[in-house]
Structure 1
Amino acid sequence: MANHSHFLHAHTHPISPSSVLYKRDSITPLLHPQRASRTSPSGTSRRSGRYKKRRVTPASDVDSRKSQKLLKLALAKSMVETTMRQVVPLPQGAVFYPTREQFADPIKYITSIEQEASRTGICKIVPPQGWKPPFAIDFEDERLRFSTRTQRIHELQEGHAYGDGRTHTFKSFRANAHAFRDKWFQTRGLNRNNMTSEEIEKEYWHIIQTGGPSVEVEYANDLDIAQVGSGFPRSQKRFMTPRLKEIETIDFTNPEYYRHTGWNLNNLPDAYGSLLRHLGAAINGVNVPWLYCGMLFASFCWHVEDNYMSSINYQHLGANKRWYGIPSSDANKFEAVMRTQLPERFEENPDLLLHLTTMVPPSILQDRGVKVFTLVQEPGDIILTFPKAYHSGFSEGFNCNEAVNFALPNWIDYGRECVEMYRLYGRLSIFSHDRFVFHFGSTQNLGEYSFEDCEILCKELRRLFHEEREYKKLFLLEGLECVDELSGDVMLDEQSMKVDDVRQCFYCKHNVFFSGIICACNPTRLSCLRHTNELCTCAMRKRTLLQWVSTAELRYAIRRVQTKMRALKEPSRKASRHDLHHNSHAIMQKESEASGANTVVMKKHIDTFGHSRSLFDKSPLDVHQSVMPWFGRANSGRKATQELRTLVARTGNVTGMV
């Protein structure tokens, strides 16, 4: 057996500032947009269809002696303040015990408890008696190997990047985890069998708050189930097959039930009523679960989910996991406290909270007026986190969990808010929010959604429409003369996500889905409509508006959703799928005719590569390879138009939206 003594006390291998970390919410840390120019995300790769963005600790002076000294002094002061007062116990997060009937419809049940449960940021669901899914991973299989990350628990309050751990099998990781836990309690004269969850929690926060003793543990996080397997039995059917049944027949004694139930995390994102069922690509950690193996004190630091989505975490086996949650109503207050607590870190890395490497005690947050709740997860328990709810926690020993994201219709507003935050820090979204909303509204069956759900969708489509229209009007007034219409693909699948990876604003990294701006001086640089002033100093007449989705198509999506809303508002008039399709087709045809009648073909061309012709007046083969990414999959239908003049000439009103 390997020597485990290196897990305790000081270590001779400090974590390098340039350590590379592969993490769930990974980003390329950037300087604050007001202080430096943007750089493109680096190290982007895919595995099982998922964006795996490589997180690199910023190259800065943050680990210099002066910076470290100031940081340690600030933390020492905080530790003294914390230990000098009596710690107030944290309130418990919401806990629910569904009946078998309630358990039969996962999304409906989660929706029914969301309003109450989200008040504590996190909640626990204890399945009905008899629930016992078989564990589908063979821990004795030596072929299943994975890498770990090392965490220096005594430094988690300082926000350092994690280090690279060792390669393990499940068997070796479990053995190491047990050995570490035994040695930890033995060296302190404690009986691990008599230790309560509260006593382990006290030990954990003592290490973090006092900075000692030195403790390093391993954490096997974000494990790809395509390589190590899922803890749930999986169906042999294609992953993205839509679930047609809303209500399940519960039979806890039948192994096949666990293979197909929506509570199986391989199925939940695609369950009836889940927005992620409209996502046509398999994204690890989003709609494809990730596996986690922890050991004593292995931590998941304060963070929110990608795009502010909800998450579900199931514990298959092992020791308890301690959770902390903050409701979305206190998220901004939490962020302000973190910046006050670690000013030096945030000065160097304004996006520090996106790194998932910082752990601040709940007691400090409580003192500053932040609501913090706690839960203990045992094997078989389900933990939910809600949109924009910060959460964190640690393991009390060896355990194995599995987690995945999901989204209810009311997530759309949170998703937009998160994308705005990403634009501030120059972070590429895990998938295009604009594409998702437009794809949902313009092509998907809305039959399973309520009037309120459609109202949320329609509101977001209207917002996108107004932004597109107003910016285009402004550009025309500023002298824009050339518009190139490109044949865009509205689908949200693996191919389109590759396009979105490249088709991003050079300044804020936002996915440019509807339209963007380029200039003749540097056509390889694409800007979203908001950041054209950052593009260059050229006059607007030298620029070209690239349009993949027109405002007419946005109107179509809005009116399509409004048609569904009217049908839902008048119960006596049930609109069939055929009626909805027919009405939507008529709307689109009317919009296209109106747009065509007012469209003037542009004769103004721009000089791009020393040739006096429009940049996109020929096939993509005639265009320099450096601008090929702007085409996506399109290869026809390009023409220079003056749709902007149509926007000014027409009111642009849509019934019920302006």
Structure 2
Amino acid sequence: MVSSHIEVPVFYPTYDEFKDFSAFISSIEARHAHKIGLAKIVPPKEWIACKTGYKQKRIDEKVVENPIKQEVHGKDGVYSVFNIQQPSIKLSSFQKLSASNRYAAPKAISNDLEKLEKKYWQSLTSNAPIYGADVSGSFTDENQTIWNVRNLGTILDDLVSESGTKIQGVNTPYLYFGMWKASFAWHTEDMDLYSINYLHFGAPKQWYVIPPSHGRKFEQYASSRFASLARRCPAFLRHKMTIISPALLTKESIPYGKMTQYENEFMITFPYGYHAGFNYGFNCAESTNFALERWIEYGKHSTKCTCRDDMVKISMDQFVYKYQPECYEDWCRGVNLTPHPEDIQLSKINKPVLSNSLIKKRLLTNQNSNKSDLESSPTTNDQIQYYHHEHIADERYACIFRNLAKFDKQKHLKTYQCTIPLIRAALYRAQFKMNKNQKKNSTKLLCLTAAVITKLSFSYSSAYSPIYFNGLKQSGKYRENILNGLWNYQLLNHKSEQKHFIPIMKIILMNYFNVQCVI
């Protein structure tokens, strides 16, 4: 079993080291801080965020807009948090509310953070706290030019300077007003960006982090515990509704680190570092996102939630154009030849590794090739499978499995011939993935996938050949999921791929069905 605890680094920069924000972050990355996913920065004594102090007048004037009541449901270390919007409230009233008997931490152990942490996990589903999250504003002095959360001077500022794009809480600051048990669920930042969090005043904040190198494993585990959510949205962790206890992470051999943040301390999260936590009492933190050049590859591969309209989406075009000009032409064509930075196995061997992220890939084209399509196409079953794993867009595979069923299993799904190889390859991809994972909870899907492959049939005598999926009774929910996914898939227009798939379809017909055909 992997050790449950990894050490989160703490840095104490001098004032000179502190002056250049981007350079300092790069320097701690040179010391491998990013491999943990989280770091604490204790600023030098010369640095002051708010020279006038946090006087009562300033607190009285601030309004906490639409705080959320956090209803938590679940048991045995697996929980879902539901945020119920509340009326806006003055910060002074919020402070009094957090100190009331209903919302305050137990007085008997209020000074013992270790006992409070245990109490948090024991009482997570009772006495729903109020959290003043995502409140636009800043408590940092405007004339503070060093480590000012509202102006960090990183490449994320290109969004404003070059395109005039402002995204609340991403390249502008948010304030967070916490109370006892107010929580933030497991998530990575929008677009897998960096984040900075400064605790202005109040009670400490507890952080948990999973190293980016174990992000894939955590996603797989979370998907197994929230299977229905994962089926509806592969990027469901973007919803920030999932709480999983550290004890379960230890049981699943997923390493994690934890760190307590106090007043006048910064926390930095790194790209693709899953983190979560809670507050020990009334406090105020200020946060935003930022980016260094190292982030660009993470941004290019970041998962996107497709089931909500309010999710942050940032076009990577301008970043690729400015910082990766040699890749820009391919990027515009939809070709991304680089692996996800955390897919270490993929970078070591010349073989594709299945990724949870919907990588923005498209078919490779070779305009200078004089060979015929068939001469350059794979000729064996293994080569065909490998070819599709390497070159077909991941989002096309995902669309087969991600929607809820709306159609009966006897519904005939009409599709073009040139999509048949893609459908078949997608099913083989699912089977390959299930074989690789070797998880008990994947057995049903593995059996179903095998059944689908054997029952896939079509007529090659017409340019518009219907596909029939009948008799799939092993698992209704997966069967219907596949059927509905196929139904939605055939509605998509993939003209750019038709020319490429026709010769591949010929090979598949000859290999899998022993059929000679002319298309």
TM-score tier by shorter-chain length is: 0.5 to 0.7
Aligned-residue offset at 1:338: 1.0
Q: Which residue of 2 aligns with 1:147?
A: 66
Q: Which residue of 1 aligns with 2:25?
A: 110
Q: Which residue of 1 aligns with 2:82?
A: 161
Aligned-residue offset at 1:177: 0.6
2:59 and 2:97 map into 1 onto residues whose CA distance is: 15
Asked if structure 1 preserves the Cα contact closer than 8 Å seen for 2:4 and 2:256, the reply is no
Map 1:16-165 to 2 at 5 A: 90-115=5-30, 116-134=32-50, 135=53, 138-142=57-61, 144-153=63-72, 155=74, 157-165=78-86
Output the TM-score relative to the length of structure 2.
0.59
2:86 and 2:48 map into 1 onto residues whose CA distance is: 33
For 2:248, the aligned partner's letter is I
Aligned-residue offset at 1:275: 5.7
Asked if structure 2 preserves the Cα contact closer than 8 Å seen for 1:150 and 1:217, the reply is yes
Report the number of matched residues. Answer: 345
For 2:10, the aligned partner's letter is V
Output the TM-score relative to the length of structure 1.
0.47
Aligned-residue offset at 1:337: 1.2
Mark the CA change 1:387 to 1:403 in structure 2 (over 3 Å): closer, same or farther: same
RMSD over aligned Cα atoms: 3.7
1:180 and 1:302 map into 2 onto residues whose CA distance is: 28
1:181 and 1:350 map into 2 onto residues whose CA distance is: 37
For 1:148, the aligned partner's letter is P
For 1:291, the aligned partner's letter is L
2:136 and 2:36 map into 1 onto residues whose CA distance is: 30
* 1:433 matched to 2:315: yes
- Which one of 180, 196, 201 corresponds to residue 117 of structure 2? 201
Moved more, 123-132 or 382-391: 123-132
For 2:27, the aligned partner's letter is S
In structure 1, the gaps of 5 or more residues are 1-85, 235-258, 442-453, 476-506, 509-533, 540-658
Asked if structure 1 preserves the Cα contact closer than 8 Å seen for 2:204 and 2:280, the reply is yes
1:285 and 1:91 map into 2 onto residues whose CA distance is: 29
Secondary structure of the residue that 2:166 maps to in structure 1? coil
Asked if structure 2 preserves the Cα contact closer than 8 Å seen for 1:351 and 1:425, the reply is no
Deviations 1:456-505 (A, max 9, x none): x2454254155479869699xxxxxxxxxxxxxxxxxxxxxxxxxxxxxx
Asked if structure 1 preserves the Cα contact closer than 8 Å seen for 2:109 and 2:116, the reply is no
2:366 and 2:309 map into 1 onto residues whose CA distance is: 27
Secondary structure of the residue that 2:171 maps to in structure 1? coil
Map 1:139-288 to 2 at 5 A: 139-142=58-61, 144-153=63-72, 155=74, 157-180=78-101, 184-186=105-107, 190-192=108-110, 195-208=111-124, 214-225=126-137, 230-234=138-142, 259-268=143-152, 270-271=153-154, 278=161, 280-288=164-172
Secondary structure of the residue that 2:267 maps to in structure 1? strand
Aligned-residue offset at 1:382: 0.3
Mark the CA change 1:433 to 1:271 in structure 2 (over 3 Å): closer, same or farther: closer
Asked if structure 2 preserves the Cα contact closer than 8 Å seen for 1:153 and 1:297, the reply is no
Secondary structure of the residue that 1:333 maps to in structure 2? helix
Asked if structure 2 preserves the Cα contact closer than 8 Å seen for 1:314 and 1:380, the reply is yes
Aligned-residue offset at 1:433: 2.5
1:428 and 1:166 map into 2 onto residues whose CA distance is: 21
Deviations 1:73-116 (A, max 9, x none): xxxxxxxxxxxxx9976333111111111011111001110241
1:207 and 1:423 map into 2 onto residues whose CA distance is: 31
Asked if structure 1 preserves the Cα contact closer than 8 Å seen for 2:187 and 2:274, the reply is yes
Secondary structure of the residue that 2:242 maps to in structure 1? coil
Asked if structure 1 preserves the Cα contact closer than 8 Å seen for 2:62 and 2:91, the reply is no
Asked if structure 1 preserves the Cα contact closer than 8 Å seen for 2:172 and 2:288, the reply is yes
Asked if structure 2 preserves the Cα contact closer than 8 Å seen for 1:308 and 1:387, the reply is yes
Secondary structure of the residue that 1:174 maps to in structure 2? helix
Secondary structure of the residue that 2:99 maps to in structure 1? helix
Mark the CA change 1:429 to 1:294 in structure 2 (over 3 Å): closer, same or farther: closer
Asked if structure 2 preserves the Cα contact closer than 8 Å seen for 1:262 and 1:271, the reply is no
2:365 and 2:16 map into 1 onto residues whose CA distance is: 54
Map 1:632-647 to 2 at 5 A: none
Q: Which residue of 2 aligns with 1:292?
A: 176
In structure 2, the gaps of 5 or more residues are 337-361, 368-394, 397-412, 419-519
Deviations 1:353-387 (A, max 9, x none): 11101110012112212121111100100000000
Deviations 1:274-297 (A, max 9, x none): 765655322211110111000000
Aligned-residue offset at 1:129: 2.1
Map 1:517-556 to 2 at 5 A: none
Deviations 1:161-201 (A, max 9, x none): 21122321000001001114775525xxx152xx3221111
Secondary structure of the residue that 1:413 maps to in structure 2? helix
Mark the CA change 1:118 to 1:180 in structure 2 (over 3 Å): closer, same or farther: farther
Deviations 1:398-426 (A, max 9, x none): 000010000000111000110xx227778
Q: Which residue of 2 aligns with 1:340?
A: 224
Aligned-residue offset at 1:391: 0.5
Secondary structure of the residue that 2:123 maps to in structure 1? helix
Secondary structure of the residue that 1:325 maps to in structure 2? strand
1:143 and 1:422 map into 2 onto residues whose CA distance is: 34
Secondary structure of the residue that 1:112 maps to in structure 2? helix
Secondary structure of the residue that 1:166 maps to in structure 2? coil
2:224 and 2:273 map into 1 onto residues whose CA distance is: 20
For 1:152, the aligned partner's letter is E
Map 1:224-623 to 2 at 5 A: 224-225=136-137, 230-234=138-142, 259-268=143-152, 270-271=153-154, 278=161, 280-418=164-302, 421-422=303-304, 430-437=312-319, 440-441=321-322, 454=323, 457-458=324-325, 460-465=327-332, 467=334
1:424 and 1:166 map into 2 onto residues whose CA distance is: 29
Aligned-residue offset at 1:341: 2.6
2:233 and 2:112 map into 1 onto residues whose CA distance is: 38
Deviations 1:40-76 (A, max 9, x none): xxxxxxxxxxxxxxxxxxxxxxxxxxxxxxxxxxxxx
For 1:120, the aligned partner's letter is I
2:79 and 2:265 map into 1 onto residues whose CA distance is: 31
Mark the CA change 1:205 to 1:429 in structure 2 (over 3 Å): closer, same or farther: closer
Asked if structure 1 preserves the Cα contact closer than 8 Å seen for 2:10 and 2:42, the reply is yes
Asked if structure 1 preserves the Cα contact closer than 8 Å seen for 2:157 and 2:171, the reply is no
Secondary structure of the residue that 2:221 maps to in structure 1? helix
2:120 and 2:106 map into 1 onto residues whose CA distance is: 12
Deviations 1:589-627 (A, max 9, x none): xxxxxxxxxxxxxxxxxxxxxxxxxxxxxxxxxxxxxxx
For 1:178, the aligned partner's letter is A
